[in-house]
Amino acid sequence: MPARRRTLAAVGLLVAAGTTGCGVSSPSAAPSPVTPGLSAHDAAACSRFMHALPKRLADQPLASRSAGGRRASYGDPAIVVTCGVGVPPGFKIGAECQVANGVGWYLPSAQYDDQSLDATLTAAGYRPRVEAVIPAVYRPNALPAVMAELAGGVRRDFRKTTGCV
């Protein structure tokens, strides 16, 4: 098992054991803009996904949904989930992803390695794409929780277009 996946599995065990993480908060990363002009199919998939989001994500309560229905936030500082984003910077077909419940999530290497940074997870191998921006204060536990908790909706509502390594 690659070291990054082993680390993620170990972090997942910490979440299951109920430990809490402490992090140094960094300035909030801005969520990606939603992609204008989604196809009717992708817009409908985003609508289904967003309406089925849980009331809590990574132990944070649902705080708001955007008027357009493609963005939701949880907690304060906010974990922001956005549906219909573009290709994440640095992502290439075959990029290494973290896998939770059968869904590959792309996380830029710098964010993976530096726990003091906000993290931007993207289900990059699916259409439409969904991303979750997680403030550093919730690291490390929120990353595997968010990936696992959103994976069912990604598999249910989106079409897989590429795989992750």
pLDDT of residue 12: 39
Low-confidence ranges of the chain (pLDDT < 70): 1-36, 165
How much is the pLDDT for 165? 52
22: its two tokens: 């402490």
pLDDT of residue 50: 96
Residues sharing a CB contact under 8 Å with residue 4, sequence separation 6 or more, in sequence order = 96, 98, 112
pTM: 0.79
Q: Residue 90's pLDDT is what?
A: 86
- Rounded Cα distance, 91 and 99, in Å: 15
Contact 88, 94 (CB under 8 A): no
pLDDT at 89: 87
